[in-house]
């Protein structure tokens, strides 16, 4: 009986200790890789998923912006055939797209034909976001 109780406690402890992460990370990284990350690195990846960008409505001054392009992860090249849709807004994964993130200024891209512009925070701003949420 005592051994059964120890086994149950051990299972709960292992389960409680295991890291949980956003499933969008599995589109880019293996589960094993993510499980081996320390909590601060995993938290930085998870914050990048949702807090490293925002969307705004297109304004005329943004008409000349480059269009955001999706990456083909298997070849590490731009997937020219992929068309960004409104569904991409709701489940956006920045790790699947090609863009430049500047050190101290935001970067802007047209988000397909959705009528939206995506704004990426600078590296400096993203570092501040991550540090604030530690």
Confidence of residue 125 (pLDDT cuts 50, 70, 90): very high
Q: Which residues pair with 120 in a beta bridge?
A: 53, 107
Task: From 40, 112, 131, 113, select the one nearest 121 (Cα to Cα).
Answer: 131
The model carries a pTM of 0.81
**Residue pLDDT, tens place only, 29-65:** 999 999 999 999 999 999 999 999 999 998 666 678 9
13 pLDDT above the threshold of 70: no
Strand order in the sheet with 77-78: 77-78, 69-72, 97-98
Q: Please count the other Cβ atoms lying within 10 Å of the Cβ belonging to residue 6.
A: 10
**pLDDT attached to residue 117:** 93
Query: Which residue's structure tokens are 């293996």?
Result: 30
Mean pLDDT of all residues in 83-93: 92
d(CA 132, CA 134): 6
The values of phi and psi at residue 130, to 5°, are -65, -45
The angle, 0 to 180 degrees and rounded to 10, between the axes of the packed helices 123-132 and 39-51 is 120
Q: Which residues pair with 78 in a beta bridge?
A: 71
Mean pLDDT of all residues in 78-98: 93
């Amino acid at each position: 009986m005592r051994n059964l109780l120890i086994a149950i406690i051990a299972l709960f402890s292992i389960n409680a200790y295991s890291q949980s992460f956003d499933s969008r990370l599995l589109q880019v990284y293996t589960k094993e890789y993510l499980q081996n990350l320390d909590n601060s690195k995993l938290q930085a990846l998870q914050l990048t998923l949702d807090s490293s960008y925002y969307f705004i409505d297109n304004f005329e001054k943004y008409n000349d912006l480059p269009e955001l392009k999706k990456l083909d992860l298997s070849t590490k090249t731009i997937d020219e055939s992929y068309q960004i849709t409104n569904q991409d807004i709701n489940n956006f994964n920045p790790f699947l797209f090609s863009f430049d993130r500047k050190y101290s200024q935001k970067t802007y891209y047209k988000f397909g034909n959705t009528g939206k512009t995506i704004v990426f925070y600078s590296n400096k701003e993203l570092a501040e976001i991550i540090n604030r949420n530690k």
